[in-house]
Amino acid sequence: MKKNAAASSALSTEIAGIKFQNPVMTASGTFGYGMEFGGYTDLNRLGAVVVKGLSLKPRAGNPGPRIVETPGGMLNAIGLQNVGVEVFLKEKLPLLKGLKCRVIANIFGETIEDYAELAKRLDNAEGLCAVEINISCPNVKKGGIVFGTDPIEAARVVHAVRRSTGLPVITKLSPNVTDIKVLVRAVEDAGTDAVSLINTLTGMAVDVERRRPVLAMSTGGLSGPAIRPVAVRMCWEAAKAARTPIIGMGGIVTASDALEFIIAGASAVQVGTASFIDPDAAVKVAAGIADYVKRHKTTVRELIGSLKTG
Amino acid sequence: MKNRIERLCEITHNKEVSSSYFRIGLKWQTPRIAPGQFVMLRVTDSLDPLLRRPFGIYNVIDAAGKASLRGTGIELLYKVVGRGTRILSLKKPGECVDVLGPLGNGWPLPRLLSSGKNRWGRHDKIIMTGGGMGIAPLYLLAKKIKTGVVLFGGKGRAEAGLTKAFKGHKIRIATEDGSVGKKGFVTELLKEELGPDSAVCACGPVGMLKAVAALADDAGVDCYVSLESSMACGIGACLGCAVKSGAHGAAANRDYRMVCSDGPVFLSRDIDWEAL
């Protein structure tokens, strides 16, 4: 019993005063509202489930084709299709009650007021441990990446959310910027409790036979193993500049992939596209990290930012 | 939910049955499978190609060789069209592939099998219409629907060969080059077969399905189409396989439906064919 407790604490991590049983979360937009995966994986063995981005009103999403496979990855332009915050609170969140994993709501607005209103609606929701602000979706016309690439706009969104909720606030950043450090500092100064990155990289695929973009929206967000080295580099840069914890993501498939982010400075990781290929991927990553920690006689907390350079 | 599982399945056979068309057998103590359901196969352990590939379930093999929907293995029929299917075609018996499934809804067998006038209308004659590879999921359906008619449309002789396995049904074939059966499209045959007490089950290229749906609509009969789409997860999470809902029908108030989790079988009037 004592041994188990020691093993579990070796895996735990803390973000904004919240303890997670392990550092592995599911990335928003790749795990539905959680229960879609209930029959394929043990949600109790995750650090947290981060649900699909929520807007005030339900969103239909973009026309198809919405996805296309690319070398070692995929492009998507889903367009933040979601049930809306009210249906989420009434029908989806209660299904996750009683699970050992934490639940984080990801929110998306077209205006700063939308973000603030969403944060307010979620403030007293039972079972939520934090709010992740999506200011980095490349696939919607209004909002999204507009807020994520301008440090002043990003700060305004974070500030508005910060004032509207007592929940810890995580800000999800876009990699489609020149200097990630500027964005990290801007959202920290505005009061974010943690930073998650990277969202997808803007990309495009062309159907040469038809001389048309493959995706109906022309461009989409690139995810999957292809983007991992970019993501690790950006997390490393962000971690060096940050005062708050970093949640790293981008192309994580295995425990070793996740450990790259943790060693480079991330306090937790999110598994995204890998869940599409293997619905049990995030749990396998958590199990692999447990093996590593045991093998190296260390803890996740010790590993965070333990990168040796020079 | 318990029925939906991911597992490594041993390949029992993987043979070219017609030029570039393969039939693969996978050892699998299956749960009950509905005709029209599909599986997502991972053809490699590596990350390229990255995503699973969807395949309609062609056949369920059971020890007694009966037309059961439970069995000790499944068969898939596939055409080599790209990297993923090429890798699959090179796999040998004894090797394993990672299978996720069975997924999707499948054709509504109880509705189709209830003959005579009932609350769903008359479904005395089920017309199973397949175009090219679209014949694959119709085989299992035909096994359960004894009184149906099978119509097949293909480019030529190689594709028409796919209908050889269909036994005990009236089969009519149309080929574009006229090498087998009637010269032309399968919709010509459908026009001749359609009656007021028919129901249509169709799978094939979008252009064909569009034409089939229009004919069924004109005849005022139910038409169940099985759609194809690129998809990443197969379980309703990625939302990549969206198709637009029709202005009428049960889905009228929903903008998009997911081929993987709402389908792949849809009532044709629930789909916006203009948007496809």
For A157-183, how does the pLDDT look when each residue is reduced to its tens digit (9 = 90+)?
A: 999 999 999 999 999 999 999 999 999
pLDDT-derived band of residue A266, with 50, 70 and 90 as boundaries?
very high
Whose CA is closest to B102, among B2, B10, B21?
B2
Q: Does A30 sit within 8 Å of B255, measured CB to CB?
A: no
Lowest-confidence pick of A298-302, B14-18, B251-255: B251-255
Give the model's pLDDT for residue B2: 40
For A119-165, how does the pLDDT look when each residue is reduced to its tens digit (9 = 90+)?
A: 999 998 999 999 999 997 666 656 666 788 899 999 999 999 999 99
Q: Which residues in chain B are closer than 8 Å to A214, comparing Cβ atoms?
A: none
pLDDT-derived band of residue B6, with 50, 70 and 90 as boundaries?
low
Give the model's pLDDT for residue A7: 56
Q: Which residues in chain A are closer than 8 Å to B6, comparing Cβ atoms?
A: 40, 278-280
Q: Does B230 sit within 8 Å of A68, measured CB to CB?
A: yes
> Which residues form the domain of A275?
2-303
For B161-181, how does the pLDDT look when each residue is reduced to its tens digit (9 = 90+)?
A: 888 888 878 899 999 998 998
The minimum CA-CA distance between A111 and chain B, rounded to whole Å, is 23
**Contact by Cβ (8 Å): A80, A140:** yes
Q: How far is CA A135 from the centre of its chain?
A: 11
Placement of tokens 């499948």 in the chain: B106
* B242 in reach of chain A (CB within 8 A): yes
Res A200 pLDDT > 90: yes
Question: Does domain B109-275 bear CATH number 3.40.50.80?
Answer: yes
Question: What's the rounded Cα separation, in Å, for the pair A82 and A87?
Answer: 9
Mutate one of A59, A69, A140, A275 to test the B interface: name it (highest B CB count within 10 A).
Answer: A69
Q: Does A39 sit within 8 Å of B244, measured CB to CB?
A: no
Give the model's pLDDT for residue A1: 44
Q: What stretch(es) of chain B map to CATH 2.40.30.10?
A: 5-103
A309 domain-assigned: no
Whose CA is closest to A198, among A136, A131, A133?
A136
Whose CA is closest to B254, among B272, B241, B268, B238?
B272
Give, to the nearest 10 degrees, the angle between helix A255-264 and helix A228-241.
30
* B256 in reach of chain A (CB within 8 A): yes
Lowest-confidence pick of A147-156, A219-228, B225-234, B244-253: B244-253
Q: Collect all residues with Cβ–Cβ distance below 8 Å to B112 and sequence separation of at least 6.
A: B123, B126, B145, B199, B201, B224
Question: What's the rounded Cα separation, in Å, for the pair B150 and B175?
Answer: 14
* B249 in reach of chain A (CB within 8 A): no
Residue B112 dihedral angles phi and psi, to the nearest 5° = -70, -35
Query: What CATH number has the domain spanning B5-103?
Result: 2.40.30.10
Task: Kindly report the pTM of this predicted structure.
Answer: 0.92
DSSP element (H, E) containing A184 = helix A180-189
Q: Does A61 sit within 8 Å of B256, measured CB to CB?
A: yes
Question: What's the rounded Cα separation, in Å, for the pair A17 and B108?
Answer: 51
Q: Does A253 sit within 8 Å of B230, measured CB to CB?
A: no
Give the model's pLDDT for residue B195: 87
Beta bridge partners of A170: A132, A194
DSSP conformation letters of B194-242: --TTEEEEEES-HHHHHHHHHHHHHHT--EEEE-----SSSSSSS--SE
Rank A67-71, B46-50, B140-144 by mean pLDDT and report only the highest. A67-71
Query: Closest chain B residue to A31 measured between Cα atoms?
Result: B237
pLDDT-derived band of residue B29, with 50, 70 and 90 as boundaries?
confident
Q: Which residues in chain A are closer than 8 Å to B48, comparing Cβ atoms?
A: 71-72
**Contact by Cβ (8 Å): A161, A117:** no
Query: Closest chain A residue to B234 measured between Cα atoms?
Result: A276
Q: Does A68 sit within 8 Å of B4, measured CB to CB?
A: no
* B233 in reach of chain A (CB within 8 A): yes
Number of domains in chain A: 1
State percent of chain A over pLDDT 90: 89
The mean per-residue pLDDT over the stretch A30-49 comes to 94
- SS3 assignment, position B6: strand
The partner residue sitting opposite A225, judged by closest CB among B47, B229, B255, is: B47
The mean per-residue pLDDT over the stretch B258-273 comes to 94
Q: Does A30 sit within 8 Å of B237, measured CB to CB?
A: yes
Buried b (16+ CB within 10 A) or exposed e, A139-152: bbeebbbbbbbbbe
Question: What's the rounded Cα separation, in Å, for the pair A172 and A130?
Answer: 13
The mean per-residue pLDDT over the stretch B64-68 comes to 66
- For B:178-217, CB contacts with A below 8 A are none
Placement of tokens 């450090």 in the chain: A181
Beta bridge partners of B7: B99
**Quick one: B214 exposed, middle or buried, by C-beta within 10 A (0-12, 13-18, 19+)?**
middle
Placement of tokens 């915050």 in the chain: A85
* B243 in reach of chain A (CB within 8 A): yes
The partner residue sitting opposite B51, judged by closest CB among A36, A69, A253, is: A69
Placement of tokens 């048309």 in the chain: A212
**Contact by Cβ (8 Å): A275, A30:** yes
* CATH code of residue A47: 3.20.20.70
Give the model's pLDDT for residue B23: 94
Average pLDDT of chain B is 88
Res B145 pLDDT > 50: yes
**Quick one: A127 exposed, middle or buried, by C-beta within 10 A (0-12, 13-18, 19+)?**
middle
Q: Does B244 sit within 8 Å of A253, measured CB to CB?
A: no
A308 domain-assigned: no
Q: What stretch(es) of chain B map to CATH 3.40.50.80?
A: 109-275
Other beta carbons less than 10 A from residue A162's beta carbon: 21
Amino acid identity for residue B198 in this structure: S
A310 domain-assigned: no
The partner residue sitting opposite A81, judged by closest CB among B51, B235, B239, is: B239
**Quick one: B43 exposed, middle or buried, by C-beta within 10 A (0-12, 13-18, 19+)?**
buried
**Contact by Cβ (8 Å): B216, B268:** yes
A57 domain-assigned: yes
Q: Is residue A235 annotated as part of the catalytic site, yes or no?
A: no
Query: Closest chain A residue to B44 measured between Cα atoms?
Result: A277
Res B116 pLDDT > 60: no
Query: Closest chain A residue to B261 measured between Cα atoms?
Result: A36
Other beta carbons less than 10 A from residue B255's beta carbon: 16
Q: How far apart are the first and last CA of chain B?
A: 30
A80 domain-assigned: yes
For A74-121, how does the pLDDT look when each residue is reduced to its tens digit (9 = 90+)?
A: 999 999 999 999 999 999 999 999 899 999 999 999 899 999 999 999
Q: Which residues in chain B are closer than 8 Å to A78, comparing Cβ atoms?
A: 238-240, 242
Beta-carbon pairs below 8 A across chains A and B: 98
**Contact by Cβ (8 Å): A61, A78:** yes
Query: Closest chain A residue to B276 measured between Cα atoms?
Result: A64
Res B119 pLDDT > 60: no
Q: Does B238 sit within 8 Å of A276, measured CB to CB?
A: yes
Placement of tokens 């539905």 in the chain: A32
Chain A residues contacting B, CB < 8 Å? 30-32, 36-40, 60-69, 71-74, 76, 78, 81, 224-225, 253, 273, 275-280
Q: Which residues in chain A are closer than 8 Å to B100, comparing Cβ atoms?
A: 40, 279
Whose CA is closest to A131, among A102, A95, A156, A100?
A102
Peptide bond preceding A23 in cis form (omega within 30 of 0): no
Average pLDDT of chain A is 93
Whose CA is closest to B238, among A132, A137, A28?
A28
For B30-43, how does the pLDDT look when each residue is reduced to its tens digit (9 = 90+)?
A: 888 999 999 999 99
Whose CA is closest to A183, among A132, A145, A209?
A145
Other beta carbons less than 10 A from residue B247's beta carbon: 10
